C-alpha cells in the first residue's frame, strides 16, 4: 500500500503485512506477555513486554492512526482509559474547558475523579464561539469536546475551536466516537489529539470494549505513550485482533448507518409522537451548516423527545422488537436507550435539565438492518 492510498484501502491494509513467519494474511493474535531475549537487554524484534507493546496492538495502533490521518496511535482497554491518559498529562491548578454535553462517563471522569486532584473544569456550550473564547484562563491547558455530542448531537466547529486553542497555547482534544474517522478528520482541522471509544463504530459489533488516542504531534505522542506504559490500561491482543478485523469494513458499515439514520430521522420528524427530533443531517438542526462543512455524512445517531414523558418512552422502548434497549452504540444492530436513566444518569439533574436531557428523551443507535424493518418496528411499538 502506498502513502497516498485512499480511506477504504487504508482501512483494510494500514499497519498490516502478511505475517513474516508464516505468510498469514491476518495479523496473528500474539497472545504473549513477554518476549525471549537472546542476551539481557537484546531483543529479537522491537518487543520486550506486552504492556509496553504487542505486535497485534502495534498493528491496530498503526491502522487507527492511518484512518485518522495521524502519525501516531495508542490503544487502551476502554474509551475512558484513553481519556484518562490525556487527563494524566495535567497538574493540580490546570484548567480544562469541557464541552457541556458529553457522555455521562466522561462527565464523571472529569468531575468526580480529576477535580479531586485539583484540576479545574469549566463546562461550556462550545457551539457558542463567544462563550468558548471567554472561557480561557491563563492556566487553561486543554479543551475537550465531542462532536456530534452525546446525547444531544450538538455539532461543534472543530477548526474554530482549534484556532482559539492555538492562540491560547492549549491542547484541543476531540472525541470522534460519534462521527468516526469515516465522516470527520479532526486532526486535519487542527485538533492536537483525537480520542475514540473503539467499543462503538470502530469495533462495530458490540463485542469489544476499547479506546484509542491519535495524534500528529511527536512530543504529545511521547507524553501519552509514557503514561500508557506507566499506567498500563492497555487492551489484550485478542481485542486488538477483533478491532483490526472490524476496521476493514468500517467505511461500508458507516455508510449504511448514515443512510438508515437519515431515512429514520425523516420518518420521525413527521411523527406526532416525536415533537423534537435531533439529527445533524436535518435542515432543522441548529448546526446543520457546520455539520455539512466538517463532516461527509451525518452519522448513525438520532435523539428524539417523546411527547408523553418517561412513561410513554418506557412503554415505547419495551415494545420494540428489533431495537434492543441497551447502553452503547455504533454496532451493526440497532440499540435504543433512555439517556436520563441510563447513559447520563450520573450527570447531575440540573445539568441534564439545562441540556435538554429530559425523561422523555430517547437515543437511537441506528444499525444496518433493513430500514423498512426498522421503521416497521417503531411503528408497531407506537401503535
Active site residues: 51, 103, 175, 200
Rank residues 16 and 174 by Cβ distance to ligand P1T and give the closer one.
174
Rank residues 208 and 374 by Cβ distance to ligand P1T and give the closer one.
208
Residues 6 or more apart whose Cβ sits within 8 Å of residue 164: 132, 133, 136, 143
Could you tell me the smallest distance in angstroms from the CB atom of residue 327 to ligand P1T? 4
CB count in 10 Å sphere of residue 74: 24
**Position with the least CB separation from ligand P1T:** 79
Provide the terminal-to-terminal Cα distance of the chain, rounded to the nearest Å: 52
Rank residues 200 and 251 by Cβ distance to ligand P1T and give the closer one.
200
Could you tell me the smallest distance in angstroms from the CB atom of residue 177 to ligand P1T? 4
Cα(162)–Cα(208) distance, integer angstroms: 31
Helices within the chain (DSSP H only): 7-13, 55-67, 79-87, 104-108, 129-134, 158-168, 180-183, 218-231, 237-247, 250-269, 288-294, 309-319, 349-355, 371-382
Rank residues 84 and 192 by Cβ distance to ligand P1T and give the closer one.
84
Rounded to 5°, the CA angle 67-73-77 comes to 110
Could you tell me the smallest distance in angstroms from the CB atom of residue 79 to ligand P1T? 2
Rank residues 174 and 371 by Cβ distance to ligand P1T and give the closer one.
174
Binding site for ligand P1T (CB under 6 A): 78-80, 103, 105-106, 146, 150, 175, 177-178, 197, 199, 209, 211, 327-329, 343
Could you tell me the smallest distance in angstroms from the CB atom of residue 261 to ligand P1T? 15
Could you tell me the smallest distance in angstroms from the CB atom of residue 80 to ligand P1T? 4
Q: What is the CA radius of gyration of the chain?
A: 21
The SS3 of residue 114 is: helix
Cell 447520563 belongs to residue: 344
Could you tell me the smallest distance in angstroms from the CB atom of residue 45 to ligand P1T? 30
Cα(203)–Cα(205) distance, integer angstroms: 6
Rank residues 54 and 197 by Cβ distance to ligand P1T and give the closer one.
197
Contact (Cβ atoms closer than 8 angstroms) between residue 191 and residue 144: no
Amino acid at each position: 500500500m502506498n502513502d497516498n492510498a485512499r480511506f477504504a484501502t487504508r482501512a483494510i491494509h494500514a499497519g498490516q503485512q502478511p505475517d513474516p513467519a508464516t505468510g498469514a494474511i491476518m495479523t496473528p493474535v500474539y497472545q504473549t506477555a513477554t518476549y525471549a531475549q537472546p542476551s539481557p537487554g537484546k531483543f529479537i524484534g522491537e518487543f520486550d513486554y506486552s504492556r509496553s507493546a504487542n505486535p497485534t496492538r502495534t498493528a491496530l495502533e498503526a491502522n487507527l492512526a492511518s484512518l485518522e490521518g495521524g502519525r501516531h496511535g495508542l490503544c487502551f482497554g476502554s474509551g475512558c482509559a484513553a481519556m484518562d491518559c490525556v487527563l494524566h498529562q495535567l497538574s493540580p491548578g490546570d484548567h480544562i474547558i469541557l464541552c457541556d454535553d458529553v457522555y455521562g462517563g466522561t462527565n464523571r471522569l472529569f468531575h468526580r475523579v480529576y477535580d479531586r486532584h485539583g484540576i479545574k473544569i469549566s463546562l461550556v456550550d462550545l457551539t457558542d464561539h463567544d462563550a468558548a473564547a471567554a472561557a480561557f484562563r491563563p492556566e487553561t491547558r486543554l479543551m475537550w469536546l465531542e462532536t456530534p455530542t452525546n446525547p444531544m448531537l450538538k455539532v461543534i466547529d472543530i477548526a474554530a475551536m482549534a484556532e482559539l486553542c492555538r492562540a491560547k497555547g492549549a491542547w484541543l482534544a476531540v472525541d470522534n466516537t460519534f462521527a468516526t474517522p469515516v465522516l470527520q478528520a479532526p486532526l486535519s482541522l487542527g485538533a492536537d489529539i483525537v480520542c475514540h471509544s473503539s467499543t462503538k463504530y470502530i469495533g462495530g459489533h458490540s463485542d469489544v470494549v476499547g479506546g484509542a488516542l491519535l495524534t500528529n504531534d511527536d512530543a504529545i505522542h511521547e507524553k501519552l505513550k509514557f503514561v500508557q506504559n506507566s499506567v498500563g490500561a492497555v487492551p489484550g491482543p485478542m481485542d486488538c485482533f477483533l478491532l483490526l478485523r472490524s476496521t476493514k469494513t468500517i467505511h461500508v458499515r458507516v455508510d449504511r448507518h448514515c443512510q438508515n439514520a437519515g431515512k429514520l430521522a425523516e420518518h420521525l420528524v413527521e411523527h406526532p409522537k416525536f415533537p423534537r427530533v435531533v439529527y445533524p443531517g436535518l435542515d432543522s438542526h441548529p448546526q446543520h451548516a457546520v455539520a455539512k462543512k466538517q463532516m461527509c455524512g451525518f452519522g448513525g445517531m438520532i435523539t428524539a423527545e417523546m411527547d408523553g414523558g418517561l412513561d410513554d418512552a418506557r412503554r415505547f422502548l419495551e415494545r420494540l422488537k428489533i431495537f434492543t434497549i441497551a447502553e452503547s452504540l455504533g454496532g451493526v444492530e440497532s440499540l435504543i436507550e433512555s439517556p436520563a436513566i441510563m447513559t447520563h444518569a450520573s450527570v447531575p439533574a440540573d445539568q441534564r435539565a439545562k441540556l435538554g436531557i429530559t425523561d422523555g428523551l430517547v437515543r437511537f443507535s441506528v444499525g444496518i438492518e433493513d430500514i423498512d424493518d426498522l421503521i416497521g418496528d417503531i411503528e408497531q411499538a407506537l401503535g
